[in-house]
């Protein structure tokens, strides 16, 4: 890539074009080419020579470089601009730059504590930001996650101030999820009122204000209910998202255990995971279904498909220590076995729903509306008599019971607080005292 072309325009400079001109002033032709890829261009005086070109399916870069060579022009980058002038003018400018005082270069090693050193190095190298001078350089020591800098004092000071602002610990959130199956209509026993404020989703509807919804200060709080229905082909496994909240201080684990002892519910899993701010955390519960896959050569292999209930949570911590949760729920269930050219395969019925909710630190979010329906055969009989031939059927009875259960997912975010005031300052070593020139150059070449 030529030095005069900004790296941000490299891909656009590969575009092919057809161009024919006759007696078009050179300055207008250069301006036309610059506008084609959105290049910021500055032209010197005197570029009035008529240009005669005929180009067919050549790259933009080849066309521009051809004009520069043909008309003895030189281009250079200057603060995000491309300056084009006659070769004599460029030489004069370079001579003036050479006569400018050269500032002494210094070396510094910056030990990065929390951020990724490679990502910071890319930011410092960004030509549009101009953190480094023309003589400056930056390298990364992956082993120690450190930056090796070489530049004059003022540029180094600016970079150090930048790193101090960026090299900070990311706050973390502990996500506790409880997956519980309960009998239909048992949710009301837990005091769950479906619909909660601060919800956003693809499908939502506003309801009228409920006079029984009051905040801690006695003010009536408006509620925005989320009522999403996802059509499914089989009623045995349906997903229609419903959302509610539990305030802090609820003895949720005790209440769920009581339901389990009364055979009204079952705690499937209680996973807990800690994730960084704005980093997704994924929790799933289910099985992997094996199936035999046949290749065209006749060889067979055992493959697996997941049939799981999955919950993906991406937290975003607000300045007032609330947590915005981006939630995605997936329910994959086993479908029919279908025939394929390589053998039978298992179909997986996939359902997915997403929403965004604002909750307080420690507040519990309840996700419901995920139903599963089972058909059970209940047989009652009189011992011995039910096994008699002919008349035994009068002493036994079989009843089909359809049981509908709802899966509730309780999600509780808890901020992981860290005392930032006790953190150690960033470790900065100056080459004049601790790093000699030869050793620094060896580090750069490693």
d(CA 89, CA 392): 113
Ramachandran sector of residue 396 (left: φ over 0; alpha: ψ -120 to 50; beta: rest):
beta
Range(s) of the chain covered by CATH 3.30.1370.120: 106-169+423-445
d(CA 280, CA 266): 27
Smallest Cα–Cα separation from 113: which of 152, 70, 168, 150?
A: 168
Question: How much is the pLDDT for 286?
Answer: 82
Q: Which residues of the chain fall below pLDDT 50?
A: 89-92, 95, 194, 196-241, 249, 418-437, 439-446
d(CA 300, CA 297): 9
Tokens coding 116: 């990724």
d(CA 272, CA 270): 7
Dihedral pair phi/psi, residue 160, rounded to 5° = -60, -45
Smallest Cα–Cα separation from 255: which of 344, 182, 146?
A: 182
Question: How much is the pLDDT for 315?
Answer: 93
| DSSP of 195-220 | --SSEEESS----PPPTT-B-TTSPB
Question: How much is the pLDDT for 310?
Answer: 83
Q: Note the pLDDT tens digit of each residue in 161-190.
A: 999 999 988 899 998 888 888 776 665 555
Q: Distances in Å between the alpha carbon of 370 and those of 176, 295, 329?
A: 19, 38, 10
Question: How much is the pLDDT for 230?
Answer: 36
DSSP code at position 3: T
pTM above 0.75, yes or no: no
3-state class (DSSP) for residue 116:
coil
End-to-end CA distance of the chain: 25
d(CA 265, CA 261): 8
- Topology (CATH) of 106-169+423-445: Ribosomal Protein S8; Chain: A, domain 1 (3.30.1370)
Range(s) of the chain covered by CATH 3.55.50.30: 7-99
CATH of domain 7-99: 3.55.50.30
d(CA 323, CA 359): 5
Dihedral pair phi/psi, residue 251, rounded to 5° = -85, 70
From the CB of residue 407, how many other CB atoms can be counted at a distance below 10 Å? 21
């Amino acid at each position: 890539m030529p030095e005069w072309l900004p790296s941000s325009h490299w891909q656009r400079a590969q575009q092919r074009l057809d161009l024919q001109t006759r007696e078009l002033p050179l300055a207008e032709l250069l301006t036309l080419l610059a506008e084609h890829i959105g290049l910021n261009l500055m032209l010197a005086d005197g570029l009035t020579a008529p240009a005669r070109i005929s180009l067919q399916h050549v790259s933009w870069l080849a066309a521009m470089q051809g004009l520069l060579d043909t008309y003895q022009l030189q281009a250079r980058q200057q603060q995000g601009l491309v300056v084009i002038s006659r070769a004599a003018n460029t030489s004069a400018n370079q001579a003036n730059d050479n006569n400018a005082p050269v500032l002494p270069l210094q070396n510094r090693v910056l030990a990065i504590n929390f951020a990724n050193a490679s990502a910071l190095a890319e930011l410092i190298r960004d030509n549009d930001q101009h953190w480094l001078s023309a003589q400056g350089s930056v390298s990364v020591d992956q082993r120690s996650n450190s930056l090796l800098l070489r530049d004059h004092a003022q540029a180094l000071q600016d970079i150090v101030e930048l790193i101090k602002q960026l090299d900070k610990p990311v706050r973390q959130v502990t996500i506790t999820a409880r997956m519980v199956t309960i009998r239909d209509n048992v949710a009301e026993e837990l005091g769950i009122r479906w619909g909660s404020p601060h919800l956003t989703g693809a499908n939502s509807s506003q309801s009228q204000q409920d006079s029984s919804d009051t905040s801690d200060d006695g003010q009536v709080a408006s509620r925005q209910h989320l009522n999403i229905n996802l059509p499914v082909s089989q009623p045995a496994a349906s997903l229609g998202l419903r959302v509610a909240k539990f305030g802090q201080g609820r003895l949720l684990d005790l209440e769920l255990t009581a339901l389990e002892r009364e055979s009204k519910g079952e705690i499937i899993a209680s996973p807990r995971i800690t994730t960084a701010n704005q980093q997704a955390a994924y929790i799933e519960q289910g099985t992997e279904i094996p199936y035999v896959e046949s290749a065209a050569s006749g060889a067979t292999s055992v493959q697996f498909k997941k049939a799981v209930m999955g919950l993906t949570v991406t937290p975003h911590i607000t300045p007032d220590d609330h947590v915005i949760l981006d939630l995605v729920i997936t329910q994959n269930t086993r479908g029919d076995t279908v025939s394929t050219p390589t053998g039978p395969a298992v179909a997986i019925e996939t359902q997915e729903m997403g929403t965004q909710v604002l909750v307080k630190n420690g507040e519990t979010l309840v996700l419901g509306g995920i139903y599963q329906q089972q058909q059970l055969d209940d047989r009652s009989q009189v011992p011995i008599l039910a096994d008699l031939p002919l008349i035994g059927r009068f002493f036994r009875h079989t009843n089909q019971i359809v049981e509908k259960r709802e899966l509730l997912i309780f999600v509780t975010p808890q901020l992981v607080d860290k005392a930032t005031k006790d953190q150690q300052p960033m470790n900065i070593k100056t080459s004049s005292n601790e790093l000699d020139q030869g050793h620094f150059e060896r580090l750069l070449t490693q």
